[in-house]
Structure 1
Amino acid sequence: MLNFQLPWHEIFAPTHSLMEMLVRGTIMYFGIFILMRLILKRQTGGISIPDVLLVVLLADAAQNGMAGEYRSITEGLVLVATIVFWNLAIDWLGYRVPFVERLVRPPPLLLIKNGQVLRRHLRQELVTMDELLSKLREEGVESPADVIEAYIEGDGNISVKKKEK
């Protein structure tokens, strides 16, 4: 025989302190953000670090709330809301405060100047010569000698200013 009664109290009543969930979400967000910002820096053609962080943490937080790792949906929603809040707050602060913008969005880094590849900058960002040449080909450039300037942008994309023919 099927039982259609639901334990509503267990579904919505938190088993952990909501303040604990806020603190845990905040600490995890900033801890992972700092690690990713310091260690990963930027990847060529990748999405931004805060975007990756948001997706990973939201997926985990939502999964825990849905799968019953926490005892209530309320706890999962509080954790998801905390993570979304910090992601929006960092974006807003990055827009308003230059210091935060430099932390969140690294400035462009020159990779090629007047046809000369700046290998020290490639090493700094862990970009191989093959990756750089691949990105140049995507821009219709055959050789670094055909480039006035090329930068790796804060989001990992490479922008190219070609020499006039």
Structure 2
Amino acid sequence: MFDLSSSAWQFGIAPIELVVRSLLVYLVFLAALRVSGKRELGQFTLFDLAAVLLAANALQPAITGADASLPGAVVILVTLFGANRVVALGRRRSTFLRRLLDVPPTTIARDGAWIRPQLEREGLDDEDLAAALREHGLESIDQVQLAVLEHDGAISVVPREGRHVRMHARVRRYRTRGPGVR
């Protein structure tokens, strides 16, 4: 039924090389995301999805090399998920890592006016801005005291005082620790 001597079950290259390749590509990909800015981390458009899929396709040979084996794929997956977990934990515990990895928030509107140079630098267009206002139950920029493009690509809006604003419910999912985990 299964031929364990076939190349699908044999490493094509040394497992340690797969680990090193995976880690290097992961670090390069993290750096590319950091440089690309907050807009790329927010809501994906169809073009963003295409770019991510093409990047994954381009990076795959750099990770796998000549290895097309099942054990090689498992080593790569464990390495990438492990690296991601280590980075997430380190980011949570280290201010230095948080500053290194997170793009700082950018003020994009203040006192009822958009800050155009910031919008251009962040790659936001009028459609993005109108959608952010609608999401927060606002009709115009005149109702905004402060708007900030957050490190995760979301836009936070603080309405002007004295304005009654109906806020749309916005659900964010946070990872919770299991029972007994500290």
TM-score by length of 2: 0.71
- Give the deviation of 1:110 after TM superposition: 0.8
1:100 is aligned with what amino acid? L
Moved over 6 A (4+): none
Aligned length: 148
CA distance in 2, matches of 1:30, 1:78: 17
CA distance in 2, matches of 1:90, 1:76: 21
Aligned partner (choices 3, 8, 11) of residue 4 of structure 2: 8
1:87 is aligned with what amino acid? N
Gap runs ≥5 in structure 2: 45-51, 164-182
Distance 1:24 1:162, change over 3 A: same
5 Å-filtered alignment, 1:56-95, equals 70-95=67-92
CA distance in 1, matches of 2:10, 2:128: 52
Q: Give the number of the structure whose residues are more often helix, by fraction.
A: 1
Q: 2:39 aligns to what SS in structure 1? A: coil
- Give the deviation of 1:36 after TM superposition: 2.3
Gap runs ≥5 in structure 1: 48-52
Aligned: 1:140 with 2:162: no
Is the 1:46–1:155 contact (alpha carbons within 8 Å) kept by the matching residues of 2? no
Aligned: 1:117 with 2:119: no
Aligned counterpart, 1:41: 37
CA distance in 1, matches of 2:131, 2:68: 50
1:74 is aligned with what amino acid? P
Aligned counterpart, 1:127: 124
Calculate percent identity across the aligned residue pairs: 24
- Give the deviation of 1:71 after TM superposition: 4.3
Deviations 1:39-85 (A, max 9, x none): x21227427xxxxx8xx86xx86xx99xxx73431111001111111
CA distance in 1, matches of 2:146, 2:114: 9
CA distance in 1, matches of 2:121, 2:100: 17
CA distance in 2, matches of 1:22, 1:108: 34
CA RMSD of aligned residues (A): 2.7
- Give the deviation of 1:130 after TM superposition: 2.8
